[in-house]
């Protein structure tokens, strides 16, 4: 009976997370685990490592590994036993009380809605062309230094962390919760939290965090691969590049220091036809990383904006068009020929018709009169504004704003 109730609690908790997201209004149990890790780290460092002189570095390194191992055992033991005892006591009161408590804990353990929400914040800032805001938003979900990231770097960091944390925050918790209920779910979150806090390869944690980092690799080995396989299926079902997702997964799934991280990252890179990973900066130090995926996404015609002269418009006029024929303009003919389509936005700048009996080339390449030169100075500023409007808003907005002028 308890097994069925546990599965039901797990499913209900997952649905609650999808609907409402993380209950930030109350103290989260993962913060309790984090505080426990901090207290144990401080105590074990003082007890086992602080009295070893600097001259005995090798001995100190071994002690730090030992201290990290003891911390791992104590943390996972308490993270499993405390909720197990509380659930047992709740069951003695009434099975419904146990079910409600386990459901709420399962709800807290999942992080699907939170992952979506935090990544959307990054996306929104990038859409608003707020690079500094995007850097701050992505810094909340990644461990690398973000202050010098470009817009592309921010995007890559967000995609990589969503890919990896789909396993850490959704697949793995779901797997452990279904196997052992909330106690095993909290045990997994303890393992994951220790890796997040201690699993750095810097001077402070290179040895102390070694066992926590390795054990996180062990616990995530199966979930990471399940996540990758589900993502490949999802790529096919949603019309993404499933074939390339499978190809890049097979080729690049081991291109990471962790045996697990590149699994889902490789699938995402392939499905999106983009290149992820590469060098990253952590705590001011550059870490060399292999690239994952291929930068094969071609530039779309809609990404191209063409501005050109038009003798059919009077001097001082501009016209914005979403698409259209060359209209006898050799330069536009050439662009259409190379792109294979005439569906790209353009800004036409009027230079006036050639004088009757005059030469077209001399007219286009010649000098403007003083009066027309003044008009051209003004219209070129408008053309620049029209291009900016197309880039930051939409072609239709630019057409409505600029085509109504100077008719």
The predicted pLDDT at position 51 comes to 85
225-258: per-residue pLDDT in tens?
999 999 999 999 888 889 999 999 999 989 888 8
Question: pLDDT category, 1, cuts 50, 70, 90?
Answer: low
Q: CA 311 to CA 2: how far, in whole Å?
A: 81
The predicted pLDDT at position 299 comes to 47
The predicted pLDDT at position 73 comes to 96
The predicted pLDDT at position 273 comes to 84
Would strands 306-310 and 346-350 be described as parallel, antiparallel, or unpaired? parallel
SS3 for 255? coil
pLDDT at 406 over 60: no
Q: Which fold has domain 301-402?
A: Rossmann fold (3.40.50)
What would the mean pLDDT of 372-392 be, rounded to a whole number?
81
Distances (CA, A) of 358 to 98, 330, 355, 361: 92, 19, 5, 9
Q: CA 378 to CA 385: how far, in whole Å?
A: 11
| DSSP 8-state assignment for residue 313 | S
For tokens 């997370």, name the residue. Answer: 17
The predicted pLDDT at position 184 comes to 94
The predicted pLDDT at position 196 comes to 85
> Buried (b) or exposed (e) across 349-379, using 16+ Cβ within 10 A?
bbbbeeeeeeeeeeeeeeeeeeebeebbeeb
- Average pLDDT of the chain, as a whole number: 83
The CATH 3.40.50.1470 domain(s) of the chain lie at 301-402
- Phi then psi for residue 288, to 5 deg, are -75, 130
For tokens 């490949």, name the residue. Answer: 232
Q: CA 210 to CA 198: how far, in whole Å?
A: 8
In the chain, the percentage of residues whose pLDDT exceeds 90 is 29
326 vs 2, higher pLDDT: 326
Would strands 285-287 and 280-282 be described as parallel, antiparallel, or unpaired? antiparallel
Which residues lie across from 349 on neighbouring strands? 309, 318
What would the mean pLDDT of 49-76 be, rounded to a whole number?
90
Phi-psi region of 187 (alpha: psi -120 to 50; beta: other; left: phi over 0): alpha
| Contact assessment for residue 136 and residue 119, using Cβ atoms and an 8 Å cutoff | no
What tokens were used for 63? 């002690």
What tokens were used for 59? 């001995």
The predicted pLDDT at position 334 comes to 74
The predicted pLDDT at position 233 comes to 93
What would the mean pLDDT of 261-266 be, rounded to a whole number?
88
What would the mean pLDDT of 280-291 be, rounded to a whole number?
66
In the chain, the percentage of residues whose pLDDT exceeds 70 is 90
Lowest-confidence region among 64-68, 172-176, 366-370: 366-370
The predicted pLDDT at position 407 comes to 45
pLDDT at 401 over 90: no
What tokens were used for 16? 């609650």
Q: CA 264 to CA 224: how far, in whole Å?
A: 7
The predicted pLDDT at position 360 comes to 64
Highest-confidence segment of 121-130, 228-237, 297-306, 336-345: 228-237
CB within 8 A of 362, min separation 6: which ones? none
Q: CA 167 to CA 253: how far, in whole Å?
A: 14
145 vs 384, higher pLDDT: 384
What would the mean pLDDT of 316-331 be, rounded to a whole number?
82
350-378: per-residue pLDDT in tens?
877 777 766 666 666 667 777 877 887 78
- Phi then psi for residue 299, to 5 deg, are -70, 135
Longest alpha-carbon distance in the chain: 103
Question: pLDDT category, 37, cuts 50, 70, 90?
Answer: very high
Which residues lie across from 350 on neighbouring strands? 310
| DSSP 8-state assignment for residue 213 | H
Q: CA 27 to CA 19: how far, in whole Å?
A: 20
Question: pLDDT category, 214, cuts 50, 70, 90?
Answer: very high
């Amino acid at each position: 009976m308890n097994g069925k109730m546990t599965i039901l609690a797990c499913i209900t908790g997952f649905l609650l997370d999808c609907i409402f997201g993380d209950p930030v209004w109350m103290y989260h149990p993962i913060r309790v685990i984090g505080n426990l890790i901090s207290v144990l780290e401080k105590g074990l460092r003082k007890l086992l490592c602080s009295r070893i002189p600097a001259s005995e570095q090798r001995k100190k390194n071994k002690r730090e590994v030992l201290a990290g191992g003891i911390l791992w055992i104590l943390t996972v033991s308490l993270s499993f036993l405390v909720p197990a005892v509380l659930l047992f006591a709740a069951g003695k009161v009434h099975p419904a009380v146990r079910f409600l408590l386990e459901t709420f804990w399962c709800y807290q353990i999942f992080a699907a809605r939170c992952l979506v929400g935090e990544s959307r914040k990054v996306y929104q800032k990038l859409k608003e062309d707020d690079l500094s805001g995007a850097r701050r938003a992505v810094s909340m979900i990644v461990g690398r230094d973000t202050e010098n990231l470009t817009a592309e770097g921010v995007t890559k960091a967000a995609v990589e962390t969503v890919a990896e944390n789909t396993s850490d925050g959704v697949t793995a918790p779901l797997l452990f919760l279904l196997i052992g209920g909330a106690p095993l779910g909290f045990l997994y979150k303890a393992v994951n939290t220790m890796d997040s806090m201690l699993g750095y390869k810097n001077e402070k944690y290179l040895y102390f965090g070694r066992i926590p980092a390795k054990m996180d690799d062990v616990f995530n080995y199966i979930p990471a691969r399940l996540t990758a396989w589900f993502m490949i299926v999802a790529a096919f079902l949603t019309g993404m590049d499933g074939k390339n997702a499978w190809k890049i997964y097979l080729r690049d799934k081991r291109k990471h220091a962790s045996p697990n991280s590149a699994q889902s990252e490789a699938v995402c890179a392939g499905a999106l036809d983009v290149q992820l990973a590469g060098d990253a900066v952590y705590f001011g130090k550059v870490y060399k990383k292999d690239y994952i995926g291929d930068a094969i996404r071609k530039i779309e015609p809609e990404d191209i904006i063409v501005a050109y002269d038009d003798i059919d418009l009077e001097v001082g006029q501009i016209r914005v068009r979403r698409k259209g024929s060359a209209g006898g303009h050799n330069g536009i003919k050439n662009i259409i020929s190379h792109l294979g389509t005439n569906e790209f936005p353009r800004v036409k700048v009027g230079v006036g018709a050639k004088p009757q009996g005059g030469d077209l080339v001399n007219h286009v390449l010649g000098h403007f009169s003083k009066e027309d030169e003044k008009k051209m100075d003004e219209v070129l500023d408008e053309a620049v504004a029209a291009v900016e409007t197309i880039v930051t808003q939409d072609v239709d907005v630019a057409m409505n704003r600029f085509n109504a002028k100077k008719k």
